[in-house]
Structure 1
Amino acid sequence: MKALVTGGAGFIGSHLVEHLLAFDHEVVVLDDFSTGSAENLAAVADDVTAVSGSILDEDALDRAMDGCDTVFHLAAAVGVHTIVNRPMESLRRNLLGTQAVLEAARRHARRLLLVSSSEIYGKNTKDNLCEDDDRILGSPLKSRWSYAAAKGLDELMGFWCWREYGLGVVIVRPFNVVGPRQSGAFGMVVPHLVEQALAGQPLTLHGDGTQRRCFCAVADVVPAFVVLVEDERAHGRAFNLGSTEEVTMRQLAERVLRVTNSDSPIVHVPYDRAYEPGFEDMARRCPDTTRARELIGFRARTCLDDIIAAVAADQRRSPRETVGAVTEGAT
């Protein structure tokens, strides 16, 4: 395989690049380094063809895609902080960017894995969300839901490229992927809490801490990307990828304290103070991964304490500065 990874200098993208290289695939990375970092690819820089550019640049896309047979589309606006603070830029990147990548894949006749998000389920809090469950979104005038709306339209474009044009598109919906090299700068809760614990600072939680989430190791998710895009039975379908080990945000903070051996206090920050008046969050989000398990044997194997320990070890080696004093309750 010769693969193009858009957003390959980002957290998940860089882990995917390393996984592909470990199996002797050729890799091209397209990234504008707005949220990704060349440091994330430092260990494999000599083995990767890097194209610096935006997914909105048709020429850059064509150069990067030339000679590739597979596209992994991960480039996107990252994190709730970005969505709330720069909504128009985020919408352009997530909507027009995905459209540009899909059109380029169609021009070059490349199969494509479209990385969506568990955010598309919105406020649906049912037990074990499955891929065909309803999306429950708040008002389109609330910036909180612009990311979910954009990702839903991304999926729709990908699905119809498969249905109408025969493009080999697979959609994946990761649920709270965590691991080394992830920054808390964009609102990702685990690296932010770990950073605070290691620094002896108060651990900040949004809301009352009863929100329930599942966190999955990046090392468990990226191999599934590759297996799914190579399996024609997956084309035209969406797949949840995540853990079913569910915790409240309060429990997450307590486990971070235990794993890092920190005695920092836990404090709660109202959503209105953290983001904007009227900000909405969901009480629960837990995936049903039956579809991925039955097709490719997917299973999240890394427990939450081991995920936290890996993030802590990474931050001790390479501290990452976090923007702002609070972090989102979950991503």
Structure 2
Amino acid sequence: MRSLVTGGAGFIGSHLVERLLADGEHVTVLDDLSTGRSRNLDHLIGRADVELRRGSVTDPAAVRQAMDGADRVYHLAAAVGVRLIVDSPLSSMRTNIHGTEMVLEAAHQSGAEVLLASTSEVYGKNTSDLLHEDADRVLGSPLVARWSYSAAKGLDEALAHAYWNELSLPVTIVRLFNTVGPRQSDQYGMVLPRLVGQALRGEALTVYGDGRQTRCFSYVSDVVEAMVALAGEPGAHGSAYNLGGAEEISMLDLARRILAVTGSPSPVDLVPYNLAYGPGFEDMRRRVPDNSRAHALIGYRPSTPLDTVIARVAEHLLDPRSAPSAAVT
């Protein structure tokens, strides 16, 4: 099996690449390193079963070349993170929309299967007890940058479904809910590594808003296992699958758990959204996944406890080997 992983130098992508290599696959990585990090793949440089290519999914030639010979494509390349979306909405939309179109078309031309990584952001402000895959999308104004990411990823899913429905492209969609773990950067607004880093440095943990907004965090290894299983399941084609954590927790309680796990004496400070992201920022009060569809098809059940996740993120941040080094060429 030969697989292409777009965004393979990213947090989730690099874990996926390792998982595929462990299965004996040949893996090609395409990443422009705009948000991915070369150090995530340093330990793979020189292996005969992995090819590292620096390039953008918005470049048709780069996508076609990386796709050559691939049986399956895991499309993870995207502009991600609240901070990046708010600060650079235009480039983010271009990457997320045009990049996905380039990948889908190249896969159609080459005959490769596709697994498209989408996001729980597509549900917007829907605060249902359990968000199932057919739940309504509740979005704010298209003039608010926060919702551009949700709109773009929703369009990505629509494109993928159209390729499956009209052109018979084998494509499966996964919606990821706050995936966390080692190698995740806090640079673009990812809450768990940001808070863990603050705790380890003895700084105040900055929780935005009133801290009562809730999320369900899922460990990257649990998610990667499910992605590989779904990619290999023909019955998954043409559908979307939630992949999220099992424990709902408020951001204030998350900060307290991090303090307990790390033993940090840091205080917790509440920071208004307008100071963190600027005027007009909107957030979701609640986001809880219904994982029953993925469980029914592949037996998906998130199993890594949150305290274990926090400890592993802290261990990674304290490891001097996580410092930058060689680049993907």
**TM class, shorter-chain normalised?**
over 0.9
CA offsets per residue over residues 159-203 of structure 1, 9 Å max, x none?
A: 010000000000000100000011101100000000000000000
Q: Does 1:19 find its partner at 2:13?
A: no
Give the C-alpha shift of residue 320 in structure 1: 7.0
CA RMSD of aligned residues (A): 1.0
Aligned counterparts, 1:279-290, within 5 A: 279-290=281-292
CA offsets per residue over residues 279-330 of structure 1, 9 Å max, x none?
A: 1001000000000000000010001000000000000004879xxxxxxxxx
In 2, distance between residues paired with 1:319 and 1:111? 35
Aligned counterparts, 1:1-331, within 5 A: 1-47=1-47, 48-318=50-320
Give the C-alpha shift of residue 109 in structure 1: 1.1
In 2, distance between residues paired with 1:320 and 1:66? 32
Give the C-alpha shift of residue 45 in structure 1: 2.0
CA contact (8 A) 2:11 2:183 kept: yes
Runs of 4+ in 1 over 4 A off after TM superposition: none
Number of residue-to-residue matches in the alignment = 321
In 2, distance between residues paired with 1:89 and 1:276? 19
- Provide the secondary structure at the position in 2 that maps to 1:116: strand
Instruction: Go from structure 1 to structure 2 and tell me whether the alpha carbon gap of 1:176 and 1:299 turns closer, same or farther (over 3 Å shift).
Output: same
- Provide the secondary structure at the position in 2 that maps to 1:46: coil
Instruction: Go from structure 1 to structure 2 and tell me whether the alpha carbon gap of 1:95 and 1:202 turns closer, same or farther (over 3 Å shift).
Output: same
Aligned to 2:326: none
- Provide the secondary structure at the position in 2 that maps to 1:286: coil
In 1, distance between residues paired with 2:45 and 2:180? 23
Task: For 1:11, give the aligned amino acid.
Answer: F
Gaps of 5+ in 1: 322-331
Gaps of 5+ in 2: 324-329
Give the C-alpha shift of residue 37 in structure 1: 1.2
In 1, distance between residues paired with 2:210 and 2:321? 28
CA contact (8 A) 2:63 2:106 kept: yes
Task: For 2:37, give the aligned amino acid.
Answer: S
- Provide the secondary structure at the position in 1 that maps to 2:41: helix
Task: For 1:95, give the aligned amino acid.
Answer: I
Give the C-alpha shift of residue 225 in structure 1: 1.0
- Provide the secondary structure at the position in 2 that maps to 1:29: strand
In 1, distance between residues paired with 2:139 and 2:4? 32
In 2, distance between residues paired with 1:37 and 1:211? 30
In 1, distance between residues paired with 2:321 and 2:188? 15
In 2, distance between residues paired with 1:318 and 1:91? 35
CA offsets per residue over residues 101-139 of structure 1, 9 Å max, x none?
A: 111111111100000000000000000100000000000
- Provide the secondary structure at the position in 1 that maps to 2:46: helix
CA offsets per residue over residues 5-59 of structure 1, 9 Å max, x none?
A: 0000000000000000111111000001111111001122223201111101111
CA contact (8 A) 1:183 1:320 kept: no
In 2, distance between residues paired with 1:240 and 1:65? 26
In 2, distance between residues paired with 1:284 and 1:273? 21
CA contact (8 A) 1:214 1:244 kept: yes
CA contact (8 A) 2:316 2:322 kept: no
CA offsets per residue over residues 225-275 of structure 1, 9 Å max, x none?
A: 111111110000000001120100000000000000001000011111111
Tell me the TM-score normalised to structure 1 length: 0.96
Tell me the TM-score normalised to structure 2 length: 0.96
Task: For 2:198, give the aligned amino acid.
Answer: Q
Task: For 1:31, give the aligned amino acid.
Answer: D
In 1, distance between residues paired with 2:71 and 2:322? 35
In 2, distance between residues paired with 1:260 and 1:151? 35
